[in-house]
């Protein structure tokens, strides 16, 4: 905890650009801001940074808000909620940026620059080619301010540049410690484009200061921008906030996590059936560890209690899907069965295994399938594939499947299948799991097959695969399913055996 900021005054913000889906890096930044605010009884603000008009879209803002809410990271002030220091969308704050820029101009802390963008680009390229730093020459720095103002009044378009003082810029970062940049590498940055549109590094300072942000917690891709921003705070005579720059999240190849690494947006994880508490828990462990470093599972409340920015690691972290899955399995097991059933339903509807709005009997039956399969999946999206052998049965495909050839070509397979089929056909009514067991025992005695050589062929006949869930629970589910109204009728055991026997020629 920072001694400079009494608990009640802590104000932090998450400030995404609505230019795409919320991805894991941003979500982790949002989470750490949220945790820090909650921990200190502070205020958590959502601000939309839409100054890049070409890339910003309203639909992304809605998506962002939906993703954040799904994660449970509710904010206290924001564009949808309002608050005392709004508006919370940068496109609604243009007058403010304009006013402060004029003030800086009048006070001589900034100056007008009439250099052409093409010329600057040319200069830049030349500097790079000659292995020099591509810094602004400072040409317009020498212009007479009064003269510049006059030129602007006459319609000449000019950008506004901040005057960087001739001394090193220092600031403190909670995760990186003291950081120092030479003023020579900053060079007078443009704060307002010649079009009148202010740039990010400028508006972020105006907004953070106006919104009384005490701790700027964001990705470390902004670390190199921070000296510009600190210079701006100082030019405006404002208190510089505390910074905490969070490390980058990388993919398995140690490159910055991106779409080609697979699922990276929060929406992706939700769609694949990752529970929000699992994702929150995983994200918290990416770059942070509790005191002692031996505990892995935390509810959001527990995280709030344990969290501290001082324990955030500065080094980049590789995203590990397997560990996320492990946490997801943990939270699936912790969840109520009703919740998992509710979350699983849409996947089965999409697979056309069930129709929307199940009747009570079907729902009850469905819940038993989920109870049987959910404990062993990484995510909910895997469920329909695991349950497919209940809903669909294709004897010919099972016989043709390469992974079954070893089982079906085994010495005892034909006799086991024959003996099993004969007995199942002799049964009347639904096959109970006790009757099933008795039949298997009789087949065992008759054929002398036991263990895998007995069960693998039987399992293949019933499910089309030689591995799967326990028969004890599976047999009743299949039998009862055959009486339900479903998009495609579930075949009972006898029907399966019949179809298999008809198609099977040893």
**Residues 458-497 contacting RNA, CB under 7 A:** 459, 466-472
β 242-246/215-219 pair status: parallel
β 215-219/159-162 pair status: unpaired
With respect to RNA, which residue has the nearer C-beta, 292 or 402? Answer: 292
Q: What tokens does 26 get?
A: 């941003």
With respect to RNA, which residue has the nearer C-beta, 137 or 425? Answer: 137
Question: Considering the rule CB under 7 A, would residue 376 count as an interface residue with RNA?
Answer: yes
With respect to RNA, which residue has the nearer C-beta, 88 or 455? Answer: 455
For the window 267-296, what string marks contact with RNA as x by the rule CB under 7 A? ------------------xxx-x-xxxxxx
* Binding segment toward RNA, per CB under 7 A, in 70-78, 95-103, 118-126, 392-400: 118-126
For the window 390-429, what string marks contact with RNA as x by the rule CB under 7 A? ----------------------------------------
Reference 486, options 366, 370, 342; nearest CA is 366
Question: Considering the rule CB under 7 A, would residue 125 count as an interface residue with RNA?
Answer: no
Distance of CA 461 to the CA centre of its chain: 41
Question: Shortest approach of RNA to residue 6 CB, angstroms?
Answer: 26
The answer to whether residue 259 is catalytic is yes
Question: Shortest approach of RNA to residue 487 CB, angstroms?
Answer: 25
Q: What tokens does 322 get?
A: 């397997």
Question: Shortest approach of RNA to residue 117 CB, angstroms?
Answer: 4
* Binding segment toward RNA, per CB under 7 A, in 100-108, 113-121, 147-155, 343-351: 113-121
Question: Considering the rule CB under 7 A, would residue 388 count as an interface residue with RNA?
Answer: no
- Residue 486: what are its φ and ψ, rounded to 5°? -130, 160
The Cα 284–Cα 14 span in angstroms is 16
Residues 49-108 that bind RNA (CB under 7 A): 49, 51-52, 55
Question: Shortest approach of RNA to residue 316 CB, angstroms?
Answer: 6
Preceding amide of 146 cis, omega within 30: no
Residues 312-351 that bind RNA (CB under 7 A): 313-318, 320, 322-323, 325-326, 329-330
Reference 53, options 192, 198, 168; nearest CA is 198
Asked if 240 and 171 touch (Cβ cutoff 8 Å), the reply is: yes
Q: How far is CA 453 from CA 60, 209, 433, 457, 496, in A?
A: 56, 74, 20, 7, 20
Binding residue for RNA, selected from 81, 150, 452, 489, defined by CB under 7 A: 452
Binding residue for RNA, selected from 69, 103, 116, 259, defined by CB under 7 A: 116
With respect to RNA, which residue has the nearer C-beta, 115 or 484? Answer: 115
Binding residue for RNA, selected from 3, 84, 155, 177, defined by CB under 7 A: 177
- Residue 114: what are its φ and ψ, rounded to 5°? -105, 10
Would you call 254 exposed, middle or buried from its count of C-beta atoms within 10 A (0-12, 13-18, 19+)?
Answer: exposed
* Binding segment toward RNA, per CB under 7 A, in 71-79, 103-111, 120-128, 393-401: 120-128
The Cα 384–Cα 373 span in angstroms is 10
Residues 211-230 that bind RNA (CB under 7 A): 220-225
Residue 191 pairs with which residues in a beta bridge?
A: none
Question: Considering the rule CB under 7 A, would residue 503 count as an interface residue with RNA?
Answer: no
If you search the block for the tokens 């994660």, which residue do you land on? 71
Question: Shortest approach of RNA to residue 276 CB, angstroms?
Answer: 19
Residues 426-445 that bind RNA (CB under 7 A): none
* Binding segment toward RNA, per CB under 7 A, in 34-42, 195-203, 232-240, 412-420: 195-203
Could you write out the DSSP letters of every residue in 64-127? HHHHHHHHT---SBBTTTB-TT---BGGG-HHHHHHHHHHHHHTTSEEEE---HHHHHHHHHHH
Binding residue for RNA, selected from 12, 73, 190, 244, defined by CB under 7 A: 190
Q: What is the DSSP letter of 401?
A: -
Question: Considering the rule CB under 7 A, would residue 455 count as an interface residue with RNA?
Answer: yes
Q: At what angle do helices 94-106 and 200-210 cross, to 10 degrees?
A: 100
3-state secondary structure 12-67: EEECCCCCCCCEHHHHHHHHHHHHHHHHCCCEEEECECCCCCCCCCHHHHHHHHHH
With respect to RNA, which residue has the nearer C-beta, 322 or 505? Answer: 322
Residue 181 pairs with which residues in a beta bridge?
A: 169
Q: Of 259, 396, 437, 452, which residue is the catalytic one?
A: 259
Catalytic residues: 259
């Amino acid at each position: 905890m920072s001694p400079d900021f009494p608990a009640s005054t802590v104000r932090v913000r998450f400030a995404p650009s609505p230019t795409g889906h919320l991805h894991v890096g941003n979500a982790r930044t949002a989470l750490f801001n949220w945790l820090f605010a909650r921990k200190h009884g502070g205020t958590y603000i959502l601000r939309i940074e839409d100054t890049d008009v070409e890339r910003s879209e309203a639909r992304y803002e809605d998506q962002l808000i939906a993703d954040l809410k799904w994660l449970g990271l509710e904010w206290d002030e924001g564009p949808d909620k309002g608050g005392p220091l709004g508006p919370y969308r940068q496109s609604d704050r243009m007058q403010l940026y304009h006013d402060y820029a004029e003030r800086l101009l009048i006070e001589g802390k900034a100056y007008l620059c009439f250099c052409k963008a093409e010329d600057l680009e040319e200069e830049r390229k030349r500097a790079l080619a000659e292995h020099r730093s591509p810094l602004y020459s400072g040409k317009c720095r020498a212009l007479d301010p009064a003269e510049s103002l006059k030129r602007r009044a006459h319609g000449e378009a000019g950008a506004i540049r901040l005057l960087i003082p001739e001394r090193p810029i220092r600031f403190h970062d909670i995760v990186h410690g003291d950081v120092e940049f030479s003023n020579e590498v900053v060079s007078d940055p443009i704060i307002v484009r010649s079009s009148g549109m202010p740039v990010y590094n400028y508006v972020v300072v105006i907004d953070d200061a106006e919104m009384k942000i005490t701790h700027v917690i964001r990705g470390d891709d902004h670390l190199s921008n921070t000296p510009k921003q600190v210079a701006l705070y100082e030019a405006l005579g404002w208190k510089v906030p505390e910074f905490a720059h969070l490390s980058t999240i990388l993919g398995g190849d140690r490159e910055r996590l991106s779409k080609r690494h697979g699922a990276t947006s929060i929406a992706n994880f939700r769609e694949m059936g990752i529970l929000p508490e699992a994702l929150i828990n995983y994200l918290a462990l990416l770059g942070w560890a509790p005191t002692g470093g031996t505990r892995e599972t935390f509810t959001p409340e527990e995280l709030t209690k344990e969290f501290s920015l001082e324990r955030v690691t500065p080094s980049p972290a590789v995203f590990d899907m397997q560990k996320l899955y492990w946490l997801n399995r943990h939270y699936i097991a912790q969840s109520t069965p009703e919740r998992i059933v509710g979350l699983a339903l849409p996947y089965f509807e999409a697979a056309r295994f069930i129709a929307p709005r199940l009747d009570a009997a079907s729902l009850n039956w469905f819940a038993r399938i989920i109870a049987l399969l959910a404990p062993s999946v990484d995510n909910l999206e895997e469920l329909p594939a695991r349950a497919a052998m209940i809903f669909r049965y294709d004897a010919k495909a099972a016989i043709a499947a390469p992974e079954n050839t070893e089982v079906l070509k085994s010495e005892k397979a034909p006799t086991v299948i024959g003996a099993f089929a004969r007995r199942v056909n002799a049964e009347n009514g639904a096959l109970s799991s006790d009757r099933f067991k008795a039949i298997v025992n009789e087949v065992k005695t008759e054929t002398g097959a036991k263990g895998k050589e007995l069960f693998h062929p039987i399992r293949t006949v019933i499910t089309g695969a030689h591995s799967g869930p326990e028969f004890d629970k599976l047999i009743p589910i299949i039998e009862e399913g055959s009486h339900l109204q479903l998009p495609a009728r579930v075949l009972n055991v006898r029907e399966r055996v019949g179809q298999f026997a008809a198609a099977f020629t040893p």
